[in-house]
A and B are shown apart, each in its own frame.
Chain A
Amino acid sequence: MLNPAGPQADSIFGLWTYMWIASTAVFAAVMVALAMALVRGRRRDAPDVSEAGEGRARRTIVVATGITLAILLATLVASYLTGRAYAVTPESGRPLQITLIGHQWWWEVTYNDSLSSRSLSTANEIHIPVGRTVVVKMTSSDVIHSFWVPNLAGKKDMIPGYSSTMWLRADRPGVFRGQCAEFCGHQHAKMALLVVAEPPAEFARWYDAQLADNMPPTDTTQSTGKNVFMSHGCVLCHTIRGTDAGGRVGPDLTHLATRRTLAAGTIPNNRGWLGGWVMDPQGIKPGAKMPPNDMRPDELQALLAYLQSLR
C-alpha cells in the first residue's frame, strides 16, 4: 500500500498522507494540552472551581470541539471524493475482463473474451498489460475470500452466491503480490497470488502462449511422467489441456512451468520444491486439499520432468 503502482492505490495513498499528517497534528495538540494541564495543576494550591475558571475551560472546549468537527468534515469530504473516483470504472478503451473464483486455498483465473476460443483459464498468477483497465469479476466456490493486491488497489470480498466487481490498473511493470484478506480456514495464510504487469506486447505474447494446448511430450522421460500423471491421483483434480486430464477440483496445470510460484504463492516453482509439493503437500501447507502422493523415485523424477515441460 505504501508503494502504489496504479491509480487506485495511488489515490488512497494520497488520502492516507493527508490523514496521517492531520492525525499527527491532532495527537500532538492533545498531548501538549494534557502536559500543560498537568504542569498547571501541579503548581496550583487548591482546585479551581471558580466561575471564571469554568468559563475559560468552557470556551476552550467549544473551540476545540469546533476544530475537531472541521477536521472531521474535511476528512469526510476527502474520503468521499477519493471513494467516488475509486469506484467509477474509467470509460477509456476496452477493459480486460477477468473472472476470479476463490477456492480453499487457491485462485482460479479466467480471462473472458467475446470469442470463446480466446478465453483462457489459469491459476494463482494474473498477467495484465500495463496501462489498460482491468475489470475483475469475483465470486467464491466455497467460503468467503477477499482479493487484495496492495500495490494496485483495495480489497474486495469474494462471497459465495454474490458476484462482486472491481477495476484496477497498473501504471508500471512489476510483479505485485496479492493475498487473501478474509479468514478462510487453516491455510488462509498461504493463499497468495501474483499479479504480473507487463508491457502490452509482452502480455499479448504471454496470452497467446497460454491459449495454446499442451504439446505432447518430446522425450521418453516426459512421456513416462505423463503416464505417471494419468495413472495416479493427479488426473482426478487437475486439468492439462490437450490431454485426457480434465479435473476441475484443483488448479489448471496446462502451463504450470511458466508460473513463478507453486501452492498459491507459497513456494518458488523449481524442481526441488515441485517434488516436495507433489510428495508432501501437507508438510508445506498443512490442511491443503491436495493429498500426499506415494510414488517410486523414478516415477517422481519422470513426473517432475513432465510437469516442468508444461510451458
Chain B
Amino acid sequence: MASVEADVIADRDDSADLAALERSWREPPGLWGWLITVDHKRIGKRYIATALVFFLLAGLEALAMRVQLARPENGFLGPDRYDQFFTMHGTTMMFLFAVPVMLAWGIYLVPQMVGTRDVAFPRLNAYGYWVYLIGASFIYVQFLLNTGTDVGWFAYVPLAGPEFSPGKRVDTWAQMVTFTEIAALIAAIEIVVTVFKQRAPGMSLNRLPLYVWSMVVVAFMVIFAMPAVAVASTFLLAMDRLVGTHFFNPAEGGDPLLWQHMFWFFGHPEVYIIFIPGLGFVSSIVTTFTRRPVFGYVAMVLSLIATGFIAFGLWVHHMFATPIPQLGQSFFTAASMMIAIPSGVQIFCWIATLWLGKPRFQTPLLYALGFIVIFVIGGLTGVMIASVPFDLQVHDTFFIVAHFHYVLIGGAVFPLLGAITYWFPKVTGRLTSERLGKIGFWLVFTGVNVTFFPMHFLGLMGMTRRVYTYLPGQGWGGLNLLSTIGAFVIAAGVIVFLYNLAASWRFGAPAGDDPWGADTLEWAIPSPPPPYNHARIPIVQGRAALWSMTPDRPVVVGLNETRREVLVTTVMDAEPDNRQESPGPTPVPFFAALATGFLLILLVFTFQALWIGAIPLGLALFAWAWPRHPDRAWRLDAEAGR
C-alpha cells in the first residue's frame, strides 16, 4: 500500500510539480484528441450540450403539438404525425434529455466537488457518452424519415405489439431504450464509485455536499430502476416482435398488464431520478445565495433517501383504472401521498434557510424560488391524484398533463436552468448577463403557468390526453389557445436564456475562481478547471468545505504528478487508503461504442446480429482489456532525468 500523508505546507513552491501535472494530464489537441479524451469535464460538457440539443428538439415538438391543438379540428399535424410527435416529445424529454442531462452534470461536477481528478472509470465514462449519442441519433434518423414511433413513450402492448404496430417503428424505440439504459447505468456506476472511493480526505459521508448526496441517491435509483425497463423492452417486447414469443399476447396466454407493471416499476422512479438532482441543484444555489448552509442537513439527506425508497412503491398509481384489487390500490394511494412528506420537509428547510440567511436575488436564486412555487403546485395536484376515485376521473386527461409538467418543469427544468446559470462561470470562465438572465427567467416562469395551468381545467372538463384534435362543440378551444400562447412565451424565454449563454461565452466578463462566494470544492479551482481539477487534493475540515477551510488550506502530498494518479479513500470517513492510476486518452471506448451501436442497430432487423455484431464488439473489448504498461510513461520520464 502506498503511503499517503496529509501535511501542512505553509510556503510551498509548486511550479515544478504543476508542470509535471500539466504534462501527465495533457490531452492531444484537435479532433483526434476530442474523440479519444477520457476527461470527465470534456465528456460531461459534451453530454450536457447533446442533452440540451435534444431538449430543444423536444421543445420544438411540443410547440408543433400546441399549434395543432390551438383550435378544434386543426389540420397542422395529422393523427399519424401527431402521434409520432407526442411519442418523440415524451421519449426525448425522458430518455434523451432529462436523465442524461442530470447524470451528465453529475459526471462534470461530482469529481470536482468531492476533490478528485477524474471519475472512477474514465474510459467507461467515455464509452457511455458515445453509446448514448449513437442510440439517440438512431431514433432521430428514423423520426426525420417520418417513420417515428407512434405508440407513446410508454409503448403499451398490445398496441406496441407485432399485431398492431407492424414495421420497425417500435423496434427502434425499444432499442433506443437499450442504448440509453446502458449509458445511464454507466454514469450511475461512475458516480457511486467516485463518491464512495475518491472523496478528498476529511469529506466523511456526513460532510458530503447535498448535491452529491442527491446524485448518490439518483445513481442507486438508476441501478435499481433501469433494468426493469431494459428487460421489458429489450428482451420481452423485442422478443415478441422479432422472435414471435408471446409474453404480452393475451391470445396466447401472455399478459398485457405485465408490460405496464414493468414499465412503471421503472417509469415512476424515473420521475424522481429526474427531479432529485434538481433538489441537489436547489440546495447548492440556496446555500450560496443566502450565504448560509442549508438548514437541517440531516433532515435533507434523510428526505432524499426516503424519496428514493418510496419512489419504488408508487408505480401502480399509473394503473388505477386497470382491473387490479382495491386493497392493493389503497397501499399505493398511501405511499403516493406519503412521498409528499420528504418533499415537504425539504421545501420547509429551504424556506427556513432563506428566512435565516441573507438572500441575494441573482438569476440562479430566482430559478430556485420559481422551482418552489411551481413544484408546490405540482406536488399538491400529485397528492390529489394519489386518491384512487379522483384519479379515475382525471387519469389520462389534461389534468395529468398539467400535473406532471408542473412537477417536472418545476422539479427538474427550473433547477437545471438555475444550475446552468450558476455553474456557467465555472465551466467557461465567464459570467453571464444578469439582466438577460432575469428576463429569461420571467418569460419562462410566466410561460409555464400560462401553458400548463389552463390544462388542469381542460382535464376537469373532460379533455383526454394524446388526442390529435377535438371537436368544435366541446368548448375547449379558448383554454387550448391560451395554452398554445403560453408555449410560445416559454420558447421566447428559452431563446433569451440561450442567447445569454452564447453571448456570455464570447463576451462575458472573466469570472475568476469563485464569483459567487460558494462553499463547495469546485470553486477552489480555476475557471475553467484544468484537466487535473485540483492542483493539490484539499483536506476537508467541515460540511461547507470552503467556508470552513482554515487559512493554511491543508492539502494531500504524496501523489505522483508524473503520471495520472488519483487518491482512493475509505467509504465512510474518507481516510486516505490507496493510490490508483487513472487511464489516459484512448480511442478504444469510441470504437467499442461503435461496435455496440452496430450490434444493437442490426438487432432491430435480425436476430443474427447477436453473432455478427459480437465479432467487432469482441475485438473492441479485447483491445480494451489489453494489458497496459502503467509505469512506462513514468519510467520514460524518469530516464529523461526527471
Residues of A within 8 A of B (CB): 1-2, 9, 11-12, 15-16, 19, 23, 26-27, 30-31, 33-34, 36-38, 40-42, 44-49, 53-54, 57-58, 60-61, 64-65, 68-69, 72, 75-76, 78-80, 82-84, 86-87, 104, 142-144, 146, 148, 150, 153-157, 159-165, 177, 179-190, 266, 286-287
Interface centre among B347, B390, B468, B474 (most CB of A within 10 A): B390
Assess whether B581 is interfacial by the CB under 8 Å rule. no
Contacts of B347 on A, CB cut-off 8 Å?
30
Residues of chain B lying within 8 A (CB to CB) of residue A26 = 376, 380
Cross-chain contact B396 with A146 (CB below 8 angstroms): yes
The reply to whether B390 and A16 form a contact with Cβ atoms under 8 Å apart is yes
Give CA–CA (A23, B381) in the complex, Å: 8
Q: Which residues of B contact A42 (CB under 8 A)?
A: 358-359
**Cβ A184 vs Cβ B159 within 8 A:** yes
Known interface pairs A12-B389, A15-B387. Does A57 touch B356 (Cβ–Cβ under 8 Å)? Answer: yes
> Are the C-beta atoms of B333 and A19 separated by less than 8 Å?
no
Whole-angstrom distance between the Cβ of B418 and the nearest chain A Cβ: 16
Given A2-B461, A68-B341, A183-B466, residue A46 in contact with residue B393 (CB < 8 A): no
Pair A160/B256 contact, Cβ less than 8 Å: yes
With CB as the reference atom, state the residue of chain B lying closest to A45. B358
Cα–Cα distance between A182 and B321 once the two chains are bound (Å): 10
* B362 interface residue per 8 A CB criterion: no
Residues from chain B with a CB closer than 8 A to the CB of A164 are: 322-323
A154 contacts B321, CB within 8 Å? Answer: yes
Is B239 engaged at the interface, CB distance under 8 Å to the other chain? no
Contact, CB under 8 Å: A46 / B358: yes
Q: How far is the CB of A82 from chain B (nearest CB, A)?
A: 5
User: Do B156 and A286 touch (CB < 8 A)?
Assistant: no
Nearest-neighbour CB distance to chain B for A285, whole angstroms, equals 9
Contacting residues, chain A, for B292 (C-beta < 8 A)? 47-49
Beyond A57-B355, A155-B392, A188-B464, 18 additional pairs, beta carbon < 8 A: A12-B392, A27-B380, A30-B376, A57-B356, A60-B352, A65-B341, A65-B344, A76-B333, A79-B390, A82-B387, A83-B388, A83-B389, A155-B393, A156-B321, A161-B250, A161-B256, A182-B321, A189-B470
Q: Interface readout for B388-409 with A: 1 if CB under 8 Å, 0 if not?
A: 1111111111000000000000
Residues of B within 8 A of A189 (CB): 79, 466-470
In residues 248-268 of chain B, which contact A (Cβ within 8 Å)? 250-251, 254-257
User: Which chain A positions have C-beta within 8 A of B169?
Assistant: none
Distance between Cα atoms of A26 and B396 in the complex (Å): 26
Contacts from B to A (Cβ < 8 Å): 78-80, 83, 150-152, 156, 158-159, 164, 250-251, 254-257, 290-293, 295-296, 299, 321-323, 326, 329-330, 333-334, 337-338, 340-341, 344-345, 347-349, 351-352, 354-359, 369, 372-373, 376-377, 380-381, 383-384, 386-397, 460-462, 464-471, 474
Q: With A34-B372, A155-B321, A189-B467 given, is the CB distance from A160 to B158 under 8 Å? A: yes
Q: A12-B393, A161-B250 are in contact. Are A186 and B83 (CB under 8 A)?
A: yes
By a CB distance below 8 angstroms, the chain A residues around B467 are 188-189
A143 and B164 contact, CB distance less than 8 A: yes
Assess whether A23 is in contact with B380, with CB atoms less than 8 Å apart.
Answer: yes
B323 and A57 contacting across the interface, CB-CB below 8 Å = no
A80:B358 contact, CB within 8 angstroms: no
Complex: A82 Cα to B326 Cα, angstroms: 12
Cβ A36 vs Cβ B290 within 8 A: no
Report how far A190 CA is from B397 CA in the complex, Å: 15
Given the interface pairs A11-B389, A188-B466, the reply to whether A27 lies near B376 with Cβ below 8 Å is yes
A201, chain B: closest CB distance, angstroms: 29
User: With the chains together, A54 CA to B352 CA distance in Å?
Assistant: 9
CB distance from B99 to the nearest CB of A (A): 23
Asked whether, in the complex, the Cβ of A72 is within 8 Å of the Cβ of B352, the reply is no
Q: Provided the pairs A72-B337, A184-B159 are in contact, do residues A157 and B390 lie with their beta carbons within 8 angstroms?
A: no
Please measure, in the bound complex, the distance between the C-alpha atom of A38 and the C-alpha atom of B355, giving whole angstroms. 6
A41 touches B359 (CB 8 A): yes
**Residue of A58, A79, A143 touching B159 (CB-CB under 8 A):** A143
Q: Return chain A residues, CB-CB under 8 Å to B358.
A: 41-42, 44-47
Are B79's CB and A186's CB within 8 A?
Answer: yes
Contacts of A15 in B (CB 8 A): 387, 389-390
